Structure 1
Amino acid sequence: MDGRHLKTLEGGTLELWYHLLSEDQNGDRVRRESLHAALLQVGEPQLELVKPIVLGEQDGALEPGDLPGGIGKLTAPRPTVKPTQSGDIVTYTWTGEVTGLTEDSATLNGLSKDKDVHFTLSAAFVAEHIEPNRGKKVTVSYRIWRAATNETSYSNVLEFGVGQAIGSGNLKVMGARFNCHTFGHTGASRVLSAFDATTEQPIEAQWKYATDIEWTTAATWTDTTPQESLQVRSSDKQITLNPANIIGNGHCFVAHRDGGDVIAWGNADYGGKIPPAIIPLKDIVEVSSTYSAYAARRTHGAVVVWGRPYGGGNMGSVVPSDFVRVVGNSAAFAGLKNASQVVAWGYDNGGGTVPTAIAALRDIVRIVVSSNAFAAQRATGQVVAWGDPSRGGNLPTDIALLTDINMILGAQYAFAALRANGRLVAWGRAEFGGNLPAPIASLNDIIELRCNALAFIAKRATGQWVAWGEPSSGGTISPEFAGLTDIVDVSSTASAFAARRANGHVVAWGSPIRGGVVPADIALLNDIVQVAGTQSAFAALRKNGTVVAWGKPDMGGDTSAVEDQLINVQALYASDEAFAALTSDGRVVTWGNPEKGGNSSAVQDQLVGQVSYQVSAVSRGVSV
């Protein structure tokens, strides 16, 4: 059958039979009809009426700013098979992900029957029902109530994004979940990217955490809530990413397996061996670390710990229940409880004991670490701090009085905070970032912060970055890099920064022996999608799933021992001296210092197929 005939029937059904013509014994022609075949659906099932037409919608996107005079139009096309009559009522339904449902109707008369029906979308409608859905989805349909028969005909649904089209294709996401629970002052990558796996081209996807209601449309996603599963969809595929599930400390790695339990490798005394009482647990939802210990939070809020007792491996008198978050610095853990109260344990001088005044607060919303101190953000917009005064544990009075703190970040010896007015404040060791240079202190357009152990960098609204702290450790940006406005993510080692650009190239600055100079062959690559850092080396994930590295070879800067295994990689994680790569086919590949997590051969049988980038049917009870 000619394809053009099937195209005409697309969305409908096809019934097939045949007639047999023959002559009977008298020579008369006889027609016999065959049995009818079962109804065939041609293409996807369709409703009776075609989709509505919305002015400005093209290829799944509508830009409100392009509407003539700021006014839109919705058209219900004239039905061709069953024309409308006088008295029929045409009603459209407009549903925005942000704005919800709204409807309007028109009753047809002798002049408007059997014609297209147009609805004007006023400037007020555009402002109230289109613009607020920017970056989200809108669905539009209409129905016709037939006055003569009291029947209703329904249209197919038109779906589009406001401002941006939702991409299509074989969706693939690359990049690690932000590993904010890994000990160290190596700034982990935070940005994930969506691609078409077939063409390797970026696509506009929609993203949201499992507990969110609204979707956000973008080709990349900055991961701010890595303890939650992350949902990503294109127009024809949806996947869910597991929370951060490979966690390193100063001596080893822990993998949070799909079944909800944990497995470890590296130095046994510092967390590289799971205690017998913890091995059977299948309800772990989050793992965090200090330099020498681990803490695991369970579904009901209980916390278990292991590793060096003085480094957080013993909770002492802290009641191990009702936790919602746990974070670790070099020698102590701090936990946020259900009552918005903070508790701590570990090395006393490292923040392991919370001052009485801070322990009495019931409005803590976030805890941030330096090497031996903690800073906590209150619901009031204020900040409190405790721990080693030389590491930021002593908060200056003028900063303590501020009520507009939006973000806090800790390096090894200092903290920096971003205010709601776009200005920065800092405290701690002056030479390592605790004192803002006057030109940076005067800026009021800061939108983002990053750090390594000894320096900070901040992104301006212009897209440019500024730096301060130890100059040789990245606290000074060369003019060549300071002028860049296309940096999409920044990672770090202890004393160097690596910046991934929108064109897929990577640049670095800071200590040359700790990754501050990108080798020439790697600098030429234009397909880098993630960069991770140990204390002294960087590893970069390419769009094709392979990995390159530079920096100290014994701390991960040399991949030669595992190069043939580094294929189909989707995410890179780091400990202090080793890397772990998570692949799309369920493998965990490690390299770097073999005694500190770089050699996982002893536990490979417990890793393969049991630590996944994407949610599976067994991933901690999360349904796909």
Structure 2
Amino acid sequence: MSICVDVHLLSGKRAAVEVETDASVESLRRRAQSALVVPSRGRLLSSSGELLDGAQTVTEAKLTSGDVLTLHVNQVQLKAVRNGHSAAFAALLGDGSVVTWGDAYFGGDSSAVRDQLRDVQQIQASSHAFAAILGDGSAVTWGYARFGGDSSAVQDQLRDVQQIQASFGAFAAVLGDGSMVTWGGAISGGDSSAVQDQLRDVQQIQASDQAFAAILGDGSVVTWGLADFGDDSSAVQEQLRDVQQIQASSGAFAAILGDGSVVTWGDADDGGDSSAAQEQLRDVQQIQASRRAFAAILIDGSVVTWGGANHGGDSSVVRDQLRDVQQIQASYAAFAAIRSDGSVVTWGDACCGGHSSVVQDQLQDVQQVQASRRAFAAILGDGGVVSWGDAGHGGDSSAAQEQLHDVQQVQASSYAFAAILGDGSVVTWGSANYGGDSRRVQDQLRDVQQIQASHGAFAAILGDGSVVTWGDADHGGDSRAVQEQLK
């Protein structure tokens, strides 16, 4: 016996789909996807908007002829664990399922929670684990247990989760009532018990390597985690009023207040002490951070820096050039500022792109800048690319210059760059072992929509929702074992 249901896309396109009553809802979804000519997976919703369980039969789902269903198709999303040892990727598919690959220890193997990874809405990553928010507001975690991959101790509390933030080795989840749940490495902020009573009406969370800072509804801030990484804000607590946003370096925080002033705390060498620059920190619009320093753009387009001098905290050499700055990008230990006239000013460690004198004449009409660990790449108005910094990290793109035309966007691993061209193809440069050489998959890199990077590999999402990877296998550069799942 069979029934016929009407399946719609959000665009209004529709198709009548016939299916046997003893067939699975997953089978119905595949037929609907084929009938509607949808290249990637989608979620099948009932007429009341509820997600249909693909494991149920049509009869068990209580579907009948004439029912109107919706196939909700989302673009594939990628998230990557990034650390210096190895890494992994997690792909959130259009139907809400998740596929993982890379180092099993750091989240590349999600088989233990595969049955729970259904109707996933978003994924967050620490340096060693993943956390997924499901449609019902619960959360599922996997990866290195000590660094957030095991949330069993707080699982009963993970209800109505709205957002998740990650430090190096822990997670913090904001619930619908404004309270917070934390787990993972205690030294990374996974234990918030000391401040739990203060964590009410949480609006935003920011994380340094080993600490968290939460902005409450009244504009105050609560911090916790490891000493010397910004966990202790007691010295500035009276100043932390009307906080609008927070930025973090490796071991310090910088908060922009409603009046445009800035309050900092944490390791002084990482930018936790801004006393030398306090008189200048007025009318601050935005703050960018390198590993151990901060750079603030003021309303008049000037820039104020502080923190580790060798990491960009000292911009005195280029101070007179830092005018009409529109945006700033940071590598590990240097900054690059784009001015309103399209020129670029750099400072910080020369080995990390802090000196751009060799390419300064080419840096005209710059639209955006991307950074690897020790190099920068700028997209020009004519679609060309200029790169500088350490050659082993993508600072030398001379070998690829003939191909770098009509560039739309650039993504970076720690050691290489990948550029998407207007025709959907991809050009790569930098360390060959860490994503700078894409020749193995070049023929597959067509109609690329977006690229995500781990520490040493890249993953590209194509127009049909499939995924192509390259780079170091231990960092997620080889997805051949899960390619069938990524279709």
> How would you bin the TM-score normalised by the shorter chain?
0.5 to 0.7
> Aligned pairs, how many?
379
Determine the C-alpha separation between the residues in 1 that align with 2:191 and 2:438. 35
Q: CA deviation at 1:465?
A: 0.5
Residues 20-31 of structure 1 aligned to structure 2 (within 5 Å): none
Amino acid in structure 2 at the alignment position of 1:392: G
Q: CA deviation at 1:394?
A: 1.0
Tell me which residue corresponds to 1:295.
131
Pick from 322, 326, 331: which aligns with 2:169?
Answer: 331
| 1:317 match: secondary structure | helix
Does structure 1 retain, via aligned residues, the 8 Å contact 2:240–2:263?
no
Tell me which residue corresponds to 1:377.
215
Residues 42-121 of structure 1 aligned to structure 2 (within 5 Å): none
Determine the C-alpha separation between the residues in 2 that align with 1:560 and 1:252. 29
**2:345 matches 1:507:** yes
Determine the C-alpha separation between the residues in 2 that align with 1:335 and 1:604. 39
Determine the C-alpha separation between the residues in 2 that align with 1:383 and 1:569. 41
Does structure 1 retain, via aligned residues, the 8 Å contact 2:396–2:430?
yes
Amino acid in structure 1 at the alignment position of 2:248: G
Determine the C-alpha separation between the residues in 1 that align with 2:117 and 2:440. 21
Q: CA deviation at 1:538?
A: 1.5
Residues 263-282 of structure 1 aligned to structure 2 (within 5 Å): 267=103, 269-271=105-107, 275=111, 278=114
Amino acid in structure 1 at the alignment position of 2:141: V
Does structure 1 retain, via aligned residues, the 8 Å contact 2:91–2:98?
yes
So what's the TM-score if we normalise by structure 1? 0.53
Amino acid in structure 2 at the alignment position of 1:305: T
Amino acid in structure 2 at the alignment position of 1:434: G
Describe the shift of the 1:286–1:608 C-alpha distance in structure 2 as closer, same or farther (beyond 3 A). farther
451-460 or 563-572: which moved more? 563-572
Q: CA deviation at 1:520?
A: 2.2
Does structure 2 retain, via aligned residues, the 8 Å contact 1:258–1:618?
no
**2:292 matches 1:459:** no
Describe the shift of the 1:485–1:494 C-alpha distance in structure 2 as closer, same or farther (beyond 3 A). same
Does structure 2 retain, via aligned residues, the 8 Å contact 1:424–1:446?
yes
Determine the C-alpha separation between the residues in 1 that align with 2:134 and 2:401. 36
Deviation string, structure 1 residues 376-427 (Cα, Å, up to 9, x no partner): 1000100010111111011124425632111111101111111112211111
Tell me which residue corresponds to 1:309.
145
Does structure 2 retain, via aligned residues, the 8 Å contact 1:538–1:551?
yes
Deviation string, structure 1 residues 252-309 (Cα, Å, up to 9, x no partner): 4647567366666665543456658559967444333222333333444343334333
Determine the C-alpha separation between the residues in 2 that align with 1:264 and 1:317. 24
Determine the C-alpha separation between the residues in 2 that align with 1:312 and 1:402. 29
So what's the TM-score if we normalise by structure 2? 0.67
Q: CA deviation at 1:318?
A: 2.6
Residues 208-607 of structure 1 aligned to structure 2 (within 5 Å): 247=80, 249-250=82-83, 251-252=86-87, 254=89, 256=91, 259=94, 267=103, 269-271=105-107, 275=111, 278=114, 283-319=119-155, 320-358=158-196, 361-399=199-237, 402-441=240-279, 443-521=281-359, 523-559=361-397, 566-587=404-425, 591-593=429-431
Describe the shift of the 1:278–1:530 C-alpha distance in structure 2 as closer, same or farther (beyond 3 A). farther
Structure number with the bigger relative contact order (C-alpha 8 A, sep ≥ 6) is 1
| 1:349 match: secondary structure | helix
Describe the shift of the 1:576–1:355 C-alpha distance in structure 2 as closer, same or farther (beyond 3 A). farther
Describe the shift of the 1:566–1:419 C-alpha distance in structure 2 as closer, same or farther (beyond 3 A). same
Deviation string, structure 1 residues 343-364 (Cα, Å, up to 9, x no partner): 2222210111112433663310
CA RMSD between the two structures: 3.7
Tell me which residue corresponds to 1:189.
none
Describe the shift of the 1:305–1:538 C-alpha distance in structure 2 as closer, same or farther (beyond 3 A). farther
Describe the shift of the 1:360–1:428 C-alpha distance in structure 2 as closer, same or farther (beyond 3 A). closer
| 1:391 match: secondary structure | coil
Does structure 1 retain, via aligned residues, the 8 Å contact 2:127–2:168?
yes
Describe the shift of the 1:479–1:562 C-alpha distance in structure 2 as closer, same or farther (beyond 3 A). closer
Does structure 1 retain, via aligned residues, the 8 Å contact 2:449–2:462?
no
Determine the C-alpha separation between the residues in 1 that align with 2:108 and 2:443. 16
Q: CA deviation at 1:329?
A: 1.9
Determine the C-alpha separation between the residues in 1 that align with 2:217 and 2:325. 31
Deviation string, structure 1 residues 231-268 (Cα, Å, up to 9, x no partner): xxxxxxxxxx9798565622446475673666666655
Does structure 1 retain, via aligned residues, the 8 Å contact 2:113–2:140?
no
Deviation string, structure 1 residues 53-73 (Cα, Å, up to 9, x no partner): xxxxxxxxxxxxxxxxxxxxx
Describe the shift of the 1:291–1:557 C-alpha distance in structure 2 as closer, same or farther (beyond 3 A). farther
Residues 94-243 of structure 1 aligned to structure 2 (within 5 Å): none
Deviation string, structure 1 residues 470-522 (Cα, Å, up to 9, x no partner): 11211111353445322111010111001112222222100000111115235
Does structure 1 retain, via aligned residues, the 8 Å contact 2:81–2:87?
yes
Does structure 2 retain, via aligned residues, the 8 Å contact 1:587–1:611?
no
Amino acid in structure 1 at the alignment position of 2:161: F
Amino acid in structure 2 at the alignment position of 1:445: D
Query: Which structure has more helix as a fraction of its residues?
Result: 2
Does structure 2 retain, via aligned residues, the 8 Å contact 1:546–1:569?
yes
